[in-house]
């Protein structure tokens, strides 16, 4: 398969599966929601007659951020009682927007925080174009938010030989991913700078590598991406998939370090500083895997198979399309689906046979930015 644009191949698992299976991503946002409330207190008053605009970049089905967006609106409403407020949800064209609107209207299992009913003069719209380009008109955005999304690079520079993720890459391959990610980060920031009013703020919670080298699913136990790689290779060794299919399962992702996130802000000549953006704060933090925590809290009342059955769907919700898209499209869809089912079943069996060390702890870099000119 040829190297393809991320926009054509990435999607969270739809039909409500994403929010239902991704409790940890919601914990990440909920734990840091004070950063958005602080942004609501810090933004400059928008020009007279303008609504206040919030955008959630890479929102998936909107379920994980619903409470935090509600709290942000409450803070804005207290400060600007008469302003209309517009919320724009952005994601890729392949996103499940139907479920996004169902979540926001409380038509799914999540009936809480229906802010569109709670507050008057709040409007919602959605945009299915990737965040590497400008998505809103100049100088209209007050608060830009993004969680667990900007590690997706705009396209894979190459496949990663003998691994599935850049965390297992080295040499020229790693450099190619790093260069792509640096350019994408600059494009993201310059695009947001154009969209923001002077005095507007950005709050980003991005996957990254922390000062101790930890990243998603690699915080001291068994490395999740190494496990993906070993199990995918075993599918090839067992004759279930071809060499090409084995090779083509590279995640279009890059985990930046805090230093890489901060680099455009420390160089006076960078396009980002010239566009008026300044760093307010940047720190790394870990949110524990809720499925592992529940298993440990159960202290023997939950068996390893139950852990495995609750844990694998959270991995699957965001990784499935990578493995599905690596499979030869001339195979029947049913055959491709069966192969991916086998792959995740093997992961489940592995965890059930020995659960020690399996956990998907979240490692993020939390960044606050303001536009000063
Ligand atoms: C792991 S989900 C995070 C969803 C949600 N923000 C959360 O924190 O739970 C990543 C989301 O980013 C989206 N995404 C990836 N690349 C994107 C891009 N270039 N532009 C917009 N969204 C993107 C994916 O489609 C997916 O919905």
Domain positions in the chain: 6-371
Q: Is 251 in the pocket of ligand 1 (CB under 6 A)?
A: no
Give 45's contacts (C-beta < 8 A, 6+ positions apart). Answer: 80, 199
Residue 110's pLDDT is what?
Answer: 84
Residue 18's pLDDT is what?
Answer: 61
- Closest residue by Cα to atom 16, ligand 1, is 152
pTM: 0.94
For residue 281, how far is its CA from the centre of ligand 1 (angstroms)? 22
Residue 109's pLDDT is what?
Answer: 85
In ligand 1, the atom with minimum distance to the C-alpha of 318 is 1
For residue 48, how far is its CA from the centre of ligand 1 (angstroms)? 33
Which residue reads 């300044």 in tokens?
278
**Which of 60, 95, 154 to mutate for ligand 1's pocket (most ligand atoms within 8 Å of CB)?**
60
CATH class of 6-371: alpha beta
Q: Is 152 in the pocket of ligand 1 (CB under 6 A)?
A: yes
Residue 3's pLDDT is what?
Answer: 43
- Closest residue by Cα to atom 13, ligand 1, is 58
The kind and range of the H/E element at 70 are: helix 66-79
Degrees, nearest 5: CA angle 162-14-319: 15
Residue 2's pLDDT is what?
Answer: 41
**Eight-state DSSP code of residue 174:** H
Report the candidate in 33, 87, 23 with the shortest Cα–Cα distance to residue 55: 87
Q: Count the helices and strands in the chain (H runs, E runs).
A: 15, 8
Which residues in the chain land under pLDDT 50?
A: 1-3
Residue 14's pLDDT is what?
Answer: 67
């Amino acid at each position: 398969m040829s190297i393809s644009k991320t926009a054509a191949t990435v999607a969270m698992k739809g039909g409500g599966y994403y929010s239902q299976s991704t409790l940890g991503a919601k914990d990440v946002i909920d734990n840091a929601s004070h950063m958005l409330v602080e942004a609501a207190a810090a933004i400059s008053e928008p020009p007279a007659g303008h609504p206040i605009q919030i955008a959630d970049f890479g929102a998936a089905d909107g379920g994980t951020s619903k409470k935090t967006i509600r709290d942000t609106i409450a803070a804005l409403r207290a400060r600007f009682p008469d302003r209309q407020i517009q919320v724009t949800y952005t994601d890729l064209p392949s996103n499940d927007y139907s479920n996004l609107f169902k979540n926001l209207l409380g038509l799914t299992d999540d009936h809480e925080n229906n802010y569109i009913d709670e507050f008057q003069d709040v409007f919602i719209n959605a945009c299915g174009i990737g965040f590497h380009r400008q998505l809103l008109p100049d100088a209209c955005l007050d608060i830009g938010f993004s969680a667990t999304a900007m590690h997706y690079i705009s396209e894979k520079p190459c496949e990663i030989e003998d691994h599935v993720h850049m965390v297992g890459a080295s040499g020229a391959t790693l450099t190619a991913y790093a260069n792509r990610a640096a350019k994408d980060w600059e494009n993201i920031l310059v695009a947001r700078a154009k969209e923001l009013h002077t005095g507007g703020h950005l709050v980003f919670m991005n996957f990254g590598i922390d000062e101790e080298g930890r990243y998603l699913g690699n915080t001291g136990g068994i490395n999740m991406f190494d496990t993906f790689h070993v199990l995918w290779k075993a599918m090839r060794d067992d004759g279930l998939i071809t060499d090409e299919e084995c090779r083509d399962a590279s995640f279009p992702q890059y985990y930046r370090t805090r230093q890489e996130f901060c680099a455009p802000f420390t160089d006076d000549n960078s396009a980002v500083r010239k566009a008026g953006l300044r760093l307010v704060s940047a720190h790394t933090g870990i949110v524990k895997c809720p499925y592992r925590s529940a298993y440990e809290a159960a202290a023997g009342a939950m068996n390893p198979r139950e852990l495995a059955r609750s844990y694998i769907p959270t991995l699957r919700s965001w990784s499935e399309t990578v493995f599905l898209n690596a499979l030869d499209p001339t195979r029947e869809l049913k055959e491709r689906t069966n192969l991916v089912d086998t792959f995740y079943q093997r992961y489940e069996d592995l965890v059930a046979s020995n659960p020690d060390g399996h956990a998907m702890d979240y490692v993020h870099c939390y960044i606050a930015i303001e536009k000063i000119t």
